[in-house]
């Protein structure tokens, strides 16, 4: 593999300096746990509603999946229940750009290429949802997709949404957090929430490593760590995580300015002149205790298709589902969240080499791309591959926004607005029935989201 000759360096490694270290107040109206895009945007809209907000991040804002994703801002292929929120989110991304908040957002389109007639049939089926929501999505035949990708080996057809976009994860969440602080929100990195403070059967605040914050409302937006924190309080969330490897190519000639995917790989044009390159259907599942605890609710996923899931025998030490990761700890003791400030899994370098080969086969004129940086992330998912956005009835004052299944970056601004209104008792503006928390325990059938 080529060395890094481009100056592209993945930023979210251990030891990166603290940027947000505000002293904690004794009390707040709302505490948000988790400094990814969901937590940041929830705090953003809570502040706009006049709430006194504290955002606690155990490590660095944006350092886990919000900074490790592909950088797609897409409506295309979404679960139909997510689409209204995603359409709102896209409008918010555009508003940020218009207001001069540069997050690397560009409306350059998302294209899926079909490797088979079966792929085209799935694309055609999803067009029902695109038409229902007035999207500019359209199907492409073989000649049309060749006009978008003229130097490619060729596909049978595709689906394209020109209004979809891309943004820069490494830039977006830290920059949004800086703007959040300017709104008066207290943001504290290296500030793990060890436990919820519960009094009289309801949320009364949080216990952090730096002290207690009294608050009648708490939002858990902790990504892969959410289930571990909730389990300490007897709240069962069937959440598992998989490792996904990603690479950034060195700067190269543009062949498509947007984001595109086919069965074996996905690419997204970057502001630095390279592409983000990732497997289309390859992720790794590390087996831990929760794999057995949550086997039953995940049965629908297992039956549907797990061909892209590669099983690894042991969840690494310190991971949320590690075999030795404590499920119980004292409020005055170091928690698992402090022991692993940033979940920074090693990328699968053999898969990176396979990615380069796949890319070269698809774009023979470009050849095997030089790779400037590699990383991996842990994508948290729920049994139906859509999130939980809901209150927890058993703990009044607690709201969940987690399980984004690797799709949270693009939809994050819309979800943040929805969660803020849930917390403040306002109308969410969208039908959230699909995202209710009790669906995993009330006997409801597991309905898988689309697999586009």
Please say whether the beta carbons of 78 and 55 come within 8 A: no
Mean pLDDT of 412-418: 98
Structural domain includes residue 154:
yes
Q: Tell me how far apart the alpha carbons of residues 412 and 79 are, in angstroms, rounded to a whole number.
A: 15
Nearest alpha-carbon partner for 371 in 384, 386, 359, 383: 359
pLDDT, tens only, 85-110: 999 999 999 999 999 999 999 999 99
Please determine, for residue 305, whether its predicted confidence score (pLDDT) is greater than 80: no
Of 162, 189, 223, the residue that ends a domain is 162
Q: Does 105 lie in the same domain as 120?
A: no
Q: Tell me how far apart the alpha carbons of residues 336 and 58 are, in angstroms, rounded to a whole number.
A: 10
What band does 6 get if pLDDT is binned at 50, 70 and 90?
A: low
Please say whether the beta carbons of 323 and 229 come within 8 A: no
Three-state secondary structure of 326-377: CCCCCCCCCCHHHHCCCCCCCCCHHHHHHHHHHHHHHCCCCCCCCEEEEEEE
Please say whether the beta carbons of 110 and 138 come within 8 A: no
What band does 289 get if pLDDT is binned at 50, 70 and 90?
A: very high
73 exposed, middle or buried (CB, 10 Å; 0-12, 13-18, 19+)? Answer: buried
The overall average pLDDT reported for the chain is 95
Distance from chain centroid for Cα 418: 16
Residues above pLDDT 70, as percent of the chain? 98
Please determine, for residue 200, whether its predicted confidence score (pLDDT) is greater than 90: yes
Mean pLDDT of 298-325: 89
Mean pLDDT of 374-399: 97
Q: Does 70 lie in the same domain as 189?
A: yes
What band does 7 get if pLDDT is binned at 50, 70 and 90?
A: confident
Phi and psi for 412 in degrees, rounded to 5?
-50, -50
pLDDT of amino acid 110: 98
Please say whether the beta carbons of 20 and 189 come within 8 A: yes
Please determine, for residue 412, whether its predicted confidence score (pLDDT) is greater than 80: yes
Q: Does 193 lie in the same domain as 156?
A: no
Place of tokens 């989110």: 89
Mean pLDDT of 362-382: 96
SS3 445: coil
What band does 281 get if pLDDT is binned at 50, 70 and 90?
A: confident
Residues in Cβ contact with 87 at an 8 Å cutoff, skipping those fewer than 6 apart = 75, 133, 135, 414
Q: Does 59 lie in the same domain as 114?
A: no
Mean pLDDT of 51-59: 98
Structural domain includes residue 15:
no
Please determine, for residue 382, whether its predicted confidence score (pLDDT) is greater than 80: yes
CATH code of residue 178: 3.50.50.60
Please determine, for residue 196, whether its predicted confidence score (pLDDT) is greater than 80: yes
Max CA distance (Å), the chain: 67
Q: Does 103 lie in the same domain as 249?
A: yes
Q: Does 136 lie in the same domain as 218?
A: no
Tally of domains within the chain: 2
Q: Does 359 lie in the same domain as 402?
A: yes
Mean pLDDT of 280-284: 90
H or E stretch including 412? helix 408-423
Phi and psi for 277 in degrees, rounded to 5?
-125, 130
pLDDT, tens only, 343-354: 999 999 999 999
Please determine, for residue 451, whether its predicted confidence score (pLDDT) is greater than 80: no
Query: Which residue range is the domain that position 168 belongs to?
Result: 30-109+163-440
Q: Does 137 lie in the same domain as 98?
A: no
Please determine, for residue 1, whether its predicted confidence score (pLDDT) is greater than 60: no
């Amino acid at each position: 593999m080529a060395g890094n000759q481009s100056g592209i360096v993945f930023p979210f490694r251990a030891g990166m300096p603290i940027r947000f270290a505000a002293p904690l107040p004794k009390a707040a109206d709302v505490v948000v746990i988790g400094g990814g895009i969901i937590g940041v945007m929830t705090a953003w809209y809570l502040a706009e509603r006049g709430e006194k907000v504290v955002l606690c991040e155990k490590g660095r804002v944006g350092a886990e999946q919000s900074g490790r994703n592909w950088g797609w801002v897409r409506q295309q292929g979404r679960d139909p229940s997510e689409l209204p929120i995603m359409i709102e989110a896209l409008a918010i991304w555009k508003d940020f750009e218009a207001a001069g908040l540069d997050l690397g957002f560009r409306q350059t389109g998302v294209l899926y290429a079909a490797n088979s007639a079966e792929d085209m049939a799935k694309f055609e089926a999803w067009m029902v949802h695109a038409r229902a929501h007035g999207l500019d999505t359209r199907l492409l035949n073989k000649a049309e997709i060749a006009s978008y990708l003229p130097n490619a080996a060729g596909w049978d057809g595709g689906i394209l949404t020109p209004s979809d976009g891309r943004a820069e994860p490494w830039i977006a969440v830290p920059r949004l957090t800086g703007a959040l602080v300017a709104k008066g929100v207290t943001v504290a990195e290296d500030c793990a929430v060890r436990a919820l403070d519960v009094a009289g059967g309801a949320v009364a605040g949080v216990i952090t490593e730096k002290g207690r914050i009294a608050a009648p409302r708490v939002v858990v937006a902790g990504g892969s760590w959410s289930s571990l924190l909730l389990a300490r309080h007897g709240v069962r969330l069937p959440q598992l995580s998989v490792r996904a490897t990603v690479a950034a190519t060195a700067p190269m000639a543009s062949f498509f300015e947007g984001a595109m995917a086919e069965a074996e790989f996905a690419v997204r044009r970057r502001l630095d002149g390279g592409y983000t390159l990732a497997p289309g259907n390859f992720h790794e599942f590390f087996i831990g205790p929760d794999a057995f605890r949550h086997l039953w609710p995940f049965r629908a996923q297992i039956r549907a298709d797990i061909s892209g899931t590669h099983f690894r025998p042991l969840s690494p030490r310190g991971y949320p589902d590690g075999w030795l990761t404590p499920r119980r700890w004292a409020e005055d003791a170091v928690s698992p969240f402090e022991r692993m400030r940033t979940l920074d899994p090693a990328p699968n370098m053999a898969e990176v080499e396979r990615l380069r080969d796949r890319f070269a086969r698809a774009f023979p004129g470009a050849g095997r791309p030089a790779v400037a940086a590699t990383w991996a992330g842990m994508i948290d998912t729920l049994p139906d591959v859509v999130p939980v956005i809901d209150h927890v009835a058993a703990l009044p004052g607690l709201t969940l926004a987690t399980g984004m299944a690797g799709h949270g970056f693009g939809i994050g601004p819309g979800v943040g607005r929805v969660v803020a209104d849930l917390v403040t008792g306002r109308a969410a503006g969208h039908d959230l029935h699909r995202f209710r928390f009790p669906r995993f325990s009330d006997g409801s059938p597991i309905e898988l989201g689309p697999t586009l």
